Structure 1
Amino acid sequence: MNAPAKIEIPSTDIAVVVEQTPEIVLTDKAQRESFYEHIQREVDAFEPDTSTEKGRKAIKSLAYKITRTKTAIDDAGKKLNEEARARINAVDAERRSVKEKLTALATAVRQPLTDWEDFEAERVETCRAIIAGFKASSVVTIEDTEASVRARGGDVWKTELNADLFGEMLPEAEAAKALAIDTLKAAMARLAKEEADRAELDRLRAEQAEREERERAEREAREAEERRAAEEKAAEERRIAAEKAEAERIERAKQEAAEQAQREAAAAAQREIDEANRRAAEAERAAQVERDRIAAEEAERQAEAKRLADEQAAREADQAHRSAVMKAAKEAIMTCGVDEDTAKKIVLLIRAGEVPNVSLRF
């Protein structure tokens, strides 16, 4: 859709134009600014009045008018977008069709070269794999034996190097194969010697183990005889020790019986002494209880006398304090021209609580 032609419109008629062709606000900047100015002047000139029903309706009418114009402009913009999207979609569809056709044509033209590149890549990968196999076969690990190295060397030797397949990589392949064969031959010789050395070492170890087993059996027989003789000697020593221990036990029993008799006699004498001491202690405790009772009674009398004296002193001090407070109150009242007798009566009335809301604090 083509943009509307630019038209010079008086500001007083811009509202009518926008109402008829709202898309002009979106496509013509000058008309848009003129429309904004017209709306702003109308808003500035409007004097809102919320005190009357008519004034409130006028506010609502102006707001609705602006909202309605906004909706018309927004709908016009949506329509412009839909038309633009339709044109863009049509161009995109044609563009995709052209792209697909030319891409297919370019692929068909390049296909022979692509096929050759794929074949060449596969050929090079195959050659690299064979060369890598030579290098991997030449690696001898600690688990290898002369037989496993010989088998791997036979596989390398039987691998044919086709000049048509390897092409410019043939020298590299031949060098890798020759190096692998030389390496495996050297490893075979080394492993064969190592295996022979291990076999000899195993034979010597077997002979050594046989000697050690024979010596162990002889040593165990000697040790068994020594243990038997030691056990017989230990049994005889235990018998002698048992007889000696029994004799010592009998002698110790006799001595313990004599000591027990002495202890029982001493215990009987000690019991008599303890009984006498107990009776003396009981007599002393009874005397002490009587002394404590007398002392407690005396302490109670003294405490009661002190309490009475303290209460009397407290009463006298309180009375002196109250007299001083009342005297001070009386003298204060006399400063107002009251005679002493009347001031004294006033103080006594206050003390008795006869004067409302007035009291003496002692």
Structure 2
Amino acid sequence: MAQALRSVEDETPQTALVAQVNADPGLVLLDQERFNQFYEAIKQETDKLVPDLTTEKGRKEIASMAFKVAKTKTAIDAAGKLLNEEARAKINIVDAARRDIREKLDALKDEVRRPLTEWEAREEERVAACEGLIARMKAAAIVPLDDTAEAVADRLAQVKAFALDEGQFQSLLPAALQQQTATVEALTAAHARLVKEEADRAELDRLRAEAAERAERELAEAEAKVAAEAAERAKQEAEARAARAAEEERARIEAAAKAAEDAARALAEAAARAEREAADRAHADALAAEKRRADEADAARKAEADRIARETAAREAEEKAAADAAAARAADIEHRSKIMGAAKVAIMGMGVGEQAAIGIVRAIAAGDVPNVSIKF
């Protein structure tokens, strides 16, 4: 490239710059204006080339000019790489110095600040401990629904026992004292409320137990009374049936005796009439008397059979009526038991124990619960 451009050194004002760049390609890397001038000098030379592709010489001139430009580019690029390497070496030296300086000064900074750092750590621990105690007191003031008076009393004693040292709490002491006072007040009120509620629940449980026991006793008494009344009615009905049977038997005997007496009287009268009749009618009268006796005996037997049939029908009707009444009573008892059992199951479904549920149902059935009844 230097030889190609040497022919124009005496023709343009930029030839000196071209020579400098050829000697030191790195000159245009750090000076954009110098590169622009150098580029214009090269461009003037390339512009003077008249391409002639028709001859081998013309084609070689084109290739030679392009090669010279490429060679100049390579020389400048190589100079740039060298500058980069030199710069990197300097950068590495500077970076190593920076690292050493940073490490030493950081160590010195940490050494100087160590007392303050240790104090800040202790202060953070102190503040965290104080805030943790305040948070514990705040949490202790919360009374869940399932809390007990005993548990609240334990927390209250713990909170009262907290010693709030001014040297430890410092600026947090007012907040700690305020929270301790608020927690003590809240737990004191909650303890009083829970003591009363637990006493009320115990009394309510006692009253419910007494009501259940009374309802069970009254139900047993009512069932015994119903059984006794049923037995008494059965006894009275049996005695009434026996009395009616005895009366009917007495009436039957009296009727038979009367029938026999009437028959005897009729026979005597017939005999007297027969004796007064003529002898020729004696045989016929005897036959007629015998026939009458047979008819009367048949009539008596028929009457007795009719009476027995009537008594049997009446007795069967009474026995059927008694059986129907007993079945109706048993069905009513079973119906009432089913309804009370269903009510017991429904109450148990609400979280009530079985015995308590039985007591409630019996109390309702006995009318001991105002404005509440069971529909049978």
TM class, shorter-chain normalised?
A: 0.5 to 0.7
Is 1:76 the counterpart of 2:79? The answer is yes
Pick aligned residue for 1:225 from 320, 331, 353: 331
% of aligned pairs identical? Answer: 49
Which residue identity does 1:114 align to in structure 2? T
Distance 1:225 1:128 in 2: 74
If the length of structure 1 is used for normalisation, what is the TM-score? Answer: 0.53
After superposition, the Cα gap between the structure-2 partners of 1:100 and 1:200, relative to the gap in structure 1 and judged at 3 Å, is same
Q: CA RMSD in A?
A: 3.2
Distance 1:61 1:70 in 2: 14
After superposition, the Cα gap between the structure-2 partners of 1:36 and 1:213, relative to the gap in structure 1 and judged at 3 Å, is farther
Alignment of 1:174-253 (within 5 A): 174-207=177-210, 211=215, 224-226=330-332
Pick aligned residue for 1:94 from 78, 97, 106: 97
Is 1:103 the counterpart of 2:92? The answer is no
Determine the structure 1 residue equivalent to 2:307: none
For CA contacts below 8 A with separation 6 or more, give which structure has more relative contact order. 2
After superposition, the Cα gap between the structure-2 partners of 1:160 and 1:20, relative to the gap in structure 1 and judged at 3 Å, is same
Distance 1:87 1:23 in 2: 18
- Secondary structure, counterpart of 1:74 in structure 2: helix
Shift of 1:56: 1.9
Determine the structure 2 residue equivalent to 1:54: 57
Alignment of 1:1-362 (within 5 A): 10-207=13-210, 211=215, 224-226=330-332
Cα-to-partner distance string for 1:293-337 (whole Å, 9 max, x where unaligned) = xxxxxxxxxxxxxxxxxxxxxxxxxxxxxxxxxxxxxxxxxxxxx
Shift of 1:54: 2.2
After superposition, the Cα gap between the structure-2 partners of 1:62 and 1:192, relative to the gap in structure 1 and judged at 3 Å, is same
- Secondary structure, counterpart of 1:64 in structure 2: helix
Shift of 1:144: 0.6
Shift of 1:145: 0.9
After superposition, the Cα gap between the structure-2 partners of 1:116 and 1:56, relative to the gap in structure 1 and judged at 3 Å, is same
Determine the structure 1 residue equivalent to 2:7: none
After superposition, the Cα gap between the structure-2 partners of 1:36 and 1:186, relative to the gap in structure 1 and judged at 3 Å, is same
Shift of 1:86: 1.9
Shift of 1:207: 4.9
After superposition, the Cα gap between the structure-2 partners of 1:192 and 1:31, relative to the gap in structure 1 and judged at 3 Å, is closer
Shift of 1:106: 2.0
Which residue identity does 1:103 align to in structure 2? D
- Secondary structure, counterpart of 1:23 in structure 2: helix
If the length of structure 2 is used for normalisation, what is the TM-score? Answer: 0.51
- Secondary structure, counterpart of 2:146 in structure 1: coil
Cα-to-partner distance string for 1:82-121 (whole Å, 9 max, x where unaligned) = 2122222222322222222222212212211222222122
Structure 2 unaligned spans of 5+: 1-11, 227-326, 336-376
Count residues in correspondence.
220
After superposition, the Cα gap between the structure-2 partners of 1:55 and 1:214, relative to the gap in structure 1 and judged at 3 Å, is farther
Which residue identity does 2:128 align to in structure 1? E
Determine the structure 2 residue equivalent to 1:235: none
Cα-to-partner distance string for 1:209-231 (whole Å, 9 max, x where unaligned) = 56389769969x978524999xx
Which residue identity does 1:126 align to in structure 2? A
After superposition, the Cα gap between the structure-2 partners of 1:170 and 1:13, relative to the gap in structure 1 and judged at 3 Å, is closer
